[in-house]
Structure 1
Amino acid sequence: MKNPLRCVAFVTVAHHPADPELALASVQGEALLAHTVRELLGTSEIDLVAVVVPPRCAQAFSAVLPHSSRCRMVTAISLRDAFAEIAPLLSPDSAVLVHDALRAFAPQRTFRQVLAALREGAELVVPVLPMSDTVKTTDPDGVITATVDRAGLRSAQTPIGFSPTAFRSALAGAANPGVADTAGAATVPGDPDAMRVASAFERTLAEALVAGGDREDPL
């Protein structure tokens, strides 16, 4: 067997029923999924990008994936099944990332920050952004009852980083740990560019983002 993988990034497209079709939406002439995978492949610390594809979408997804020895399409109905195929390639201390295909423009620095936190001993890592909107609670009739203190509120992004042990534990509790309970996770700074591109308005923002050129800060 070849050397074990130090890091595998699973790209998932099944959070919501419409996600597989949305992942094929075009931004600057390329499918969102292609942008997502290329950003991950540009991160040298990631040894394998495993794109988890619903069986009905396999042909369409295969046509848009970048050609790379570090990219592999895994046809599976759940992340649990995909991990079973990849697990023999991992070492006990490998890092596992789970990334939403629709967060196509999450920057490489975010991937590296998640991986750095795992290397420093975290078992579970989530990129987050401070909540900027004012948050209200309402009663059953829709009447505002209070303003929530947003000081401790955060919006979660991906990739979510796992140690192998934490990932197996998450799989035991949910078919898709990318949307599982992340209580107790360490956090790293998220990035506004890592928005989930799911609406026409968000695709317009993404078009402008790509047209703006290189978004990476110098390392």
Structure 2
Amino acid sequence: MSDDSRPSPTGVRTAVVIPAAGRGVRLGPGAPKALRALNGTPILIHAVRAMAASRAVSLVIVVAPPDGAAEVKSLLDAHALPERTDILVVPGGDTRQESVKRGLDALPPEYGIVLVHDAARPLVPVDTVDTVIDAVRQGAPAVVPALPLADTVKEVEPAAGPEPVLSTPDRSRLRAVQTPQGFDRATLIRAHETVTDDVTDDASMVEQLGLQVVAVPGHEEAFKVTRPLDLVLAEAVLARRRLTDGF
């Protein structure tokens, strides 16, 4: 194993990079998706709080829209966040991949474990965050939280009209991947320096290096707020939490 892919020793500090520079067109016109309100509070604030809830996380880097870093910093300053967690805002790039890279560039050297988390996943339970971190500490270069699929999946030939079905994959071998995804810092940096393809998640970049990515149990409440119906579901989850947890 090369030096770039050495597992992180137990006790190495953990940081989270949250790319929040996207516009979120599927939620319709208006503010970027991460700045939309959920129960009166921007989705981004919920996501930062979810990451900072882990006592293992001591730094959260929020990657803001290129022209919106000052706005995002003011937003974060206006909301109560755990004092034990440092918050840093940096301007993002034109793509998610470029934005994550800018977040990595801002990491202080003492952070050996990096989580990358979607700003649009505001309700991730802290146990999921800790499970990902623990797996990286135990030597995995890349870790993803994932859920089994409830629906049968069909592979189709894309078409403008009815689409021919090509195959039915074995659902038991498939997983729906969530975030935060966790990485050994050196591995993730090497992936971003090496892989130039447009990818949908950072773990797939590590796969292209030929390194092992492992899955740990995700959580049904770690869903991504992408469509208006997702906002309704997220409000319902928060309402249930207020009843059961008192907040």
- Give the TM bin, normalised by the shorter chain: 0.7 to 0.9
Aligned to 1:137: 155
**CA distance, structure 1, for counterparts of residue 121 and residue 179 of structure 2:** 7
Aligned to 1:74: 90
**CA distance, structure 2, for counterparts of residue 210 and residue 149 of structure 1:** 34
Q: What SS is found at the alignment partner of 1:105? A: coil
**CA distance, structure 2, for counterparts of residue 99 and residue 131 of structure 1:** 21
Is residue 16 of structure 2 the alignment partner of residue 13 of structure 1? no
Misfit runs of 4+, over 4 Å = 174-178, 214-217
**CA distance, structure 2, for counterparts of residue 57 and residue 213 of structure 1:** 31
- The match for 1:167 among 158, 163, 188 is 188
Cα distance per residue 1:181-206 (max 9 Å; x no partner) = 15330111001100001111000000
The gaps in structure 1 that reach 5 residues or longer are none
Change (3 A) 1:215 1:110: farther
Give the C-alpha shift of residue 215 in structure 1: 9.8
Change (3 A) 1:132 1:170: same
Give the number of the structure whose residues are more often strand, by fraction: 1
Give the C-alpha shift of residue 97 in structure 1: 0.4
Matched to 2:110, the amino acid is L
Aligned to 2:3: none
**CA distance, structure 2, for counterparts of residue 140 and residue 30 of structure 1:** 39
Provide the TM-score with structure 1 as the length reference. Answer: 0.85
- The match for 1:191 among 219, 224, 239 is 219
Aligned to 1:179: 201
Contact 1:107 1:215 in 2 (8 A): no
Q: Which deviates more from structure 2 when the two are superposed, residues 185-194 or residues 143-152?
A: 143-152
Q: What SS is found at the alignment partner of 1:102? A: coil
Describe how 1:46-57 pairs up with structure 2 within 5 A.
46-57=57-68
**CA distance, structure 2, for counterparts of residue 116 and residue 195 of structure 1:** 21
Change (3 A) 1:216 1:9: farther
Aligned to 1:26: 37
The gaps in structure 2 that reach 5 residues or longer are 1-10, 26-30, 94-98
Cα distance per residue 1:42-69 (max 9 Å; x no partner) = 1110010111112222233223224545
**CA distance, structure 2, for counterparts of residue 195 and residue 71 of structure 1:** 24
Contact 2:24 2:226 in 1 (8 A): no
Describe how 1:11-160 pairs up with structure 2 within 5 A.
11-14=18-21, 16-18=22-24, 21-65=32-76, 66=79, 67=81, 68=83, 70-77=86-93, 78-86=99-107, 88-91=108-111, 94-139=112-157, 142-160=163-181
**CA distance, structure 2, for counterparts of residue 122 and residue 215 of structure 1:** 37
Matched to 1:151, the amino acid is S
Q: What SS is found at the alignment partner of 2:136? A: helix
Matched to 1:213, the amino acid is R
Identity of aligned residues (%): 31
Contact 1:107 1:216 in 2 (8 A): no
Contact 2:146 2:175 in 1 (8 A): yes
Matched to 2:226, the amino acid is A
May I ask how many residue pairs the two structures share in their alignment?
Answer: 210
